[in-house]
Structure 1
Amino acid sequence: MRRLLPAALAAVALLTAVPASAATRDPAPVRQTQAFTGDADADDPAIWVHPRDPERSVVLGTLKKGGLAAFDLSARTLQLVPAGPGGRFNNVDVVGDLAVVSDRGRDRIRVYRIDPAGAAAGAHVLRDVTDPAAPPVFSASESEVDQQRTAYGLAAARDPRTGVRWVAVTRRHETRVALLRLVDRPDGSVGTAPIATVDLPSRFRLPDGSAWSPCEEPGEGPQLEGSVFDGRVLYTAQEDVGIWRIPLTSGGFGRPELLDRVRSFGVPQRWDSATEECVPDGADPGYGGRWLTADAEGLAVANGTLFASSQGDSRFVVYGKHVRDLRIVAGRGTDSVEHSDGSAISTASLGRRFPHGLLVVHDGERHPSPGDEPATGFAFVRLEDVLGR
């Protein structure tokens, strides 16, 4: 595999999300949600844009065992939906008036209908419409669900040609991606039907002819999670490998292409059972990318511009006409963003708060914490502060 250079990455995107000059300073959040602690561990956001009154738009965020949260554009909490027994909500995305969630605990897709009043609906903005007979996404039985190789990363969108509502789901500790479609049931609930699966590599041939696999805990494969649709393309991040671009058809997946690599790609490592961590096991051969420090995490798209979380060093990479990186720094009364998992972008004008669009990112280290335990949350950033205007 040849190393992908910025000139090749320019084919991925054009900076058309906001007017043209590039942002030159690291942006700061203008709003942030409450801090979450304990089992309510923030992870991945999504944005629903109200079709008539953008200021009533809603931001959603998964909280793992804490379920799903809904916020208004001032980042005030509207509703907290519990995950239920055994539930662990990992990723969320929006398609139409539906919020679609990967339940990592039960290997299911959960679906919530968003009230047409949007944020004005307050504590009733989300209603569970999940098909009660929905089968596991990957597991053949409930005993297999208990092994927790379950639904993990998730992206949802409409096929721009057929209108079918797609859901792409990655599998925990595996390299498999499933493509599903949402199905409306006669009772008003929403289920899923499988379309196709694809298995991405766990072992790679390096330019010197040697083979390399990223170091993982024994029995686990190189995990995929952060995912986003852009028309008939799925971008998905393999945490210790890089970012994949997978073309889609109405029948399933095309040939995956490794778009960019993490810096540690090709570096020899081994699992140290004493520390339960991967440790260096040789010199860096120099086959890694320039921009991403593992884990490669949350992905979002703004009119073709790909935005990726470089979680290992708390940066974000913008793949546009020119590839560049940034940090989200502290602002007036808001915290900086560290070790971000998921992100979401809307390019819509959302009223006086976000006239040129909104970027929402997970913050893995909220400060100050409401106590001594670690805290997480979500940060709201004006899109023009990220991409310029």
Structure 2
Amino acid sequence: MIAREIAKVAARQGAGILLPALLLSACTTTGTTADAPRPRYPAVDIPAGGETVPVGTGNADAADDPAIWRNAANPAASLVLGTDKKAGLYVYGLDGKVRDFSPAGALNNADLREVRMADGSTRILVGASDRTDRAEPRIALFALDGATGKLTVLGTETFLKAGHAPAEAYGFCMGAPLAAGELARAYVVLKDGTVAESRLVEKAGRIAAEHLRDVTFATQSEGCVVDDATRTLFVAEEDVGIWKVPLSGAALASQAYARVGEADGLVDDVEGLAIARQADGRAWLVASSQGDNAYALYDLASGKLAGRFRVEGGTLGGTSETDGIEVLLGDFGPAFPDGLFVAQDGDNAPRAQNFKMLSWRSIRTALGLD
């Protein structure tokens, strides 16, 4: 671990250590040189356009995963949610100030979506992986009031069948319903590499999680995101790379999408995943390349690397060792006119960890995505 920590410090200081992909492959696949220094691949520096108030847990790895809700009626009044994985869930305005906090315990990753209830009403449903009990994975559910930014606790749902082996909830994401009667599909990435799919349904006056099927990866995984347009789940296996999982079939089967060290794209750990989709259908998968404090963009359809960037420069400081990320395109007001990218900052010293915000326009322009 000493060499790995030295590599992290060198990366934060801009030491520019470059190693061939062969060495990276050796350290990620054989497990015999896991503490070897990791490469720092080229990336464009882009300054943050905003940041949130730090999370309440100081002197610890606490902030983790963001989610974004866009207020279509008043884009500048949109909201960002973020987990303090030792304490609960925050709601922030685009000014970075706290709108609400739910002391819901050890929530690791969060996601949200607007769902249509049985009575015809629309609800902003927020879900998070609840690892308060490290042996019993749960999904914590909330309703978000878009007008006030306040959270209402809906409850915590277990979803695996009784008698299952102890498992820790870790990653989390949601997708559109795949069958009638569902509000959404929920995906909990267990720390052993299993991804458990459940359907969220209204049941006896509450929202229940009903486990359906699993897909398993060989080693620890966390980040995940669903592309509703193609009905595909993407999962980050931290030391290996990114996998895609078609959701339309009866069984879940994974396909390799991008690997650590391949084409200078990803440096382990591979952490948060997000999808940026334009109105014209063009889309990118964004991944946190935590090992060299960067973010890699892939053309979603082809899987080809489209560019890399780091959050650096400006007055707000950069990001490092990022866990969760989120991106959503559209109008978010004058500061974020084309879309919003949010990333957890693992080193916001001397303050506690927080989340940095970037305009999608700045990313698109810097990487020449036009």
For normalisation by structure 2, the TM-score amounts to 0.75
Q: Specify the code of the residue in structure 2 equivalent to 1:256.
A: S
Aligned counterpart for 1:57 among listed residues 78, 81, 87? 78
Shift of 1:38: 4.2
Contact 1:179 1:195 in 2 (8 A): yes
Shift of 1:248: 0.4
Q: Does 1:382 align with 2:356?
A: no
Contact 1:102 1:108 in 2 (8 A): yes
Which residue of structure 1 lines up, in the alignment, with residue 297 of structure 2?
318
- Normalized per residue, the structure richer in strand is 2
- Give the Cα–Cα distance (whole angstroms) in 1 for the partners of residues 161 and 82 of structure 2: 23
Q: Specify the code of the residue in structure 1 equivalent to 2:244.
A: R
Which residue of structure 2 lines up, in the alignment, with residue 279 of structure 1?
none
Q: 1:249–1:137: structure 2 CA closer, same or farther, 3 Å change rule?
A: same
Which residue of structure 1 lines up, in the alignment, with residue 158 of structure 2?
135
Contact 1:54 1:350 in 2 (8 A): yes
- How does 1:43-54 map onto structure 2 within 5 Å? 43-54=64-75
- How does 1:155-194 map onto structure 2 within 5 Å? 155-159=173-177, 164-172=183-191, 174-187=192-205, 189-194=206-211
State the SS of the aligned residue for 2:94.
coil
Shift of 1:228: 0.4
Identical pairs, percent: 31
Aligned counterpart for 1:126 among listed residues 151, 154, 160? 151
Shift of 1:322: 4.9
- How does 1:266-281 map onto structure 2 within 5 Å? none
Q: Deviation string for 1:239-268 (max 9, x for gaps)? A: 011000110027452x311111112xxxxx
- Give the Cα–Cα distance (whole angstroms) in 2 for the partners of residues 154 and 223 of structure 1: 14
Which residue of structure 1 lines up, in the alignment, with residue 330 of structure 2?
348
Contact 1:113 1:128 in 2 (8 A): yes
- Give the Cα–Cα distance (whole angstroms) in 2 for the partners of residues 158 and 386 of structure 1: 27
Q: Deviation string for 1:207-233 (max 9, x for gaps)? A: xxxxxxxxxxxxxxx211010011200
Shift of 1:158: 0.8
Q: Specify the code of the residue in structure 2 equivalent to 1:307.
A: V
Q: Deviation string for 1:55-108 (max 9, x for gaps)? A: 22110001111210100011111111112xxx3110000121111100012321
Which residue of structure 2 lines up, in the alignment, with residue 8 of structure 1?
none
State the SS of the aligned residue for 2:258.
strand
Q: Does 1:357 align with 2:354?
A: no
Shift of 1:140: 3.3
Contact 2:70 2:78 in 1 (8 A): yes
State the SS of the aligned residue for 2:356.
strand
Q: 1:137–1:151: structure 2 CA closer, same or farther, 3 Å change rule?
A: farther
Q: Specify the code of the residue in structure 2 equivalent to 1:171.
A: L
State the SS of the aligned residue for 1:351.
coil
- Give the Cα–Cα distance (whole angstroms) in 2 for the partners of residues 80 and 128 of structure 1: 11
Shift of 1:138: 7.3
Which residue of structure 2 lines up, in the alignment, with residue 30 of structure 1?
49
Alpha-carbon RMSD across the aligned residues, in angstroms, is 2.3
Q: Does 1:42 align with 2:63?
A: yes
For normalisation by structure 1, the TM-score amounts to 0.72
Q: Specify the code of the residue in structure 1 equivalent to 2:51.
A: Q
Shift of 1:185: 3.0
- Give the Cα–Cα distance (whole angstroms) in 1 for the partners of residues 95 and 195 of structure 2: 35
- Give the Cα–Cα distance (whole angstroms) in 1 for the partners of residues 45 and 248 of structure 2: 38
Contact 2:268 2:290 in 1 (8 A): yes
Which residue of structure 2 lines up, in the alignment, with residue 109 of structure 1?
139
Count, aligned residues: 299
User: Runs in 1 of length 4+ with deviation above 6 angstroms?
Assistant: none
Q: Specify the code of the residue in structure 1 equivalent to 2:258.
A: D
Shift of 1:343: 0.5
Shift of 1:365: 0.4
Q: 1:259–1:57: structure 2 CA closer, same or farther, 3 Å change rule?
A: same
Shift of 1:157: 2.0
Which residue of structure 1 lines up, in the alignment, with residue 269 of structure 2?
295
- Give the Cα–Cα distance (whole angstroms) in 2 for the partners of residues 295 and 25 of structure 1: 20
- Give the Cα–Cα distance (whole angstroms) in 2 for the partners of residues 69 and 241 of structure 1: 31
Moved more, 68-77 or 32-41: 32-41
Which residue of structure 2 lines up, in the alignment, with residue 229 of structure 1?
226
Aligned counterpart for 2:313 among listed residues 330, 338, 344? 330
Bigger relative CO (Cα 8 Å, ≥ 6 apart): 1
- Give the Cα–Cα distance (whole angstroms) in 2 for the partners of residues 329 and 137 of structure 1: 42
- Give the Cα–Cα distance (whole angstroms) in 2 for the partners of residues 152 and 50 of structure 1: 28
Q: 1:38–1:247: structure 2 CA closer, same or farther, 3 Å change rule?
A: same
- Give the Cα–Cα distance (whole angstroms) in 1 for the partners of residues 80 and 234 of structure 2: 22
State the SS of the aligned residue for 2:361.
helix
Shift of 1:137: 4.1
Aligned counterpart for 1:259 among listed residues 257, 260, 269? 257
Q: 1:248–1:293: structure 2 CA closer, same or farther, 3 Å change rule?
A: same
Q: Deviation string for 1:103-128 (max 9, x for gaps)? A: 012321011101141xxx15xx1101
Which residue of structure 2 lines up, in the alignment, with residue 216 of structure 1?
none
Which residue of structure 2 lines up, in the alignment, with residue 242 of structure 1?
241
- Give the Cα–Cα distance (whole angstroms) in 2 for the partners of residues 322 and 294 of structure 1: 16
